[in-house]
A and B are shown apart, each in its own frame.
Chain A
Amino acid sequence: MTASLRRVALAVALPGLLFALWWIASDDSVSFYLPPLRRIVAAFGPTWSPRWASHVAPSIARLVIGYAGAVVLGVGLGVPLGGRPRLRAALEPVLELARALPPPALVPVFMLLFGIGTAMKLLVIVSGAVWPVLLNTIEGVRAVDDVLADTCRCYGITGATRLRVLVLRAASPQIVTGMRQALSIAIILMVISEMFASSSGLGYAIIDFQRGFSIPEMWSGVILLGVLGFAMSIGFRVFEARVLRWYHAQRRVRGEP
Chain B
Amino acid sequence: MTTASPEPRRGRQRAVLGALGLAGAAALAEIVPRIGVVSPRYLPPFSAMLGALGREASSPAFWRALLDTLQGWALGLAIAVTAGVVLGAVIGSRRGLRAATASTIEFLRPIPSVALIPVAVLLYGAQLRSTLLLVVYASFWPMLLQVIHGVGDVDPVARDTALSYRFTVWAKLRYLVLPSALPYILTGVRLSAAIALILAITAELVIGTPGLGKEIGVAMSSSAVPAMYALILVVGLLGVAVNVGFRALERRVLAWHLSVRTEAAT
Residues of A within 8 A of B205 (CB): 104-105, 107-108, 196
State the Cβ distance, B55 to closest chain A Cβ, in Å. Answer: 18
A18 contacts across to B, CB distance below 8 A: 104
Chain A interface extent, by class: 35 or more
| Beta-carbon contacts under 8 Å, B198-250 to A | 198, 201-202, 205-206, 213, 216-217, 219-220, 225, 228-229, 231-232, 235-240, 242-244
Given contacts A13-B100, A97-B240, A230-B107, 6 further A-B contacts (CB under 8 A): A15-B107, A113-B38, A184-B110, A192-B206, A222-B119, A226-B107
Rounded to whole angstroms, the CA-CA distance of A98 and B237 in the bound complex is 9
> Measuring CB to CB, which residues of chain A are less than 8 angstroms from any residue of chain B?
10-15, 18, 33, 86, 89-94, 96-109, 111-113, 184, 187-188, 191-192, 195-196, 203, 206-207, 209-210, 215, 218-219, 221-222, 225-226, 229-230, 232-233, 257
Contacts of B194 in A (CB 8 A): 100
Main secondary structure of the interface of A (DSSP, over half): helix
B239 touches A102 (CB 8 A): yes
**Quick one: closest B residue to A112, CB to CB?**
B42
Across the A-B interface, give the 4 residue pairs with the lowest CB-CB distance, nearest first: A100-B239, A229-B110, A210-B118, A90-B21
Scoring B101, B109, B117, B118 by chain A CB atoms within 10 A of each residue's CB, the highest score goes to B118
Known: A90-B17, A187-B110. A108 touches B216 (CB 8 A): yes
Asked if B173 is an interface residue, CB under 8 A from chain A, the answer is: no
Most buried by A among B101, B102, B111, B201: B111
The answer for the CA separation of A230 and B110 in the assembled complex, in Å, is: 6
Do A196 and B110 touch (CB < 8 A)?
Answer: no
- The interface residues of chain B lying within 8 Å CB-to-CB of A105 are 201-202, 205, 213, 216, 231-232, 235
- In the complex, B122 has a CB within 8 A of chain A: yes
Q: Which residues does chain B contribute within 8 Å of A13, judged by CB atoms?
A: 100
B158: CB under 8 A from chain A? no
In the assembled complex, which residues on chain A have CB atoms less than 8 Å from the CB atom of B17?
86, 89-90
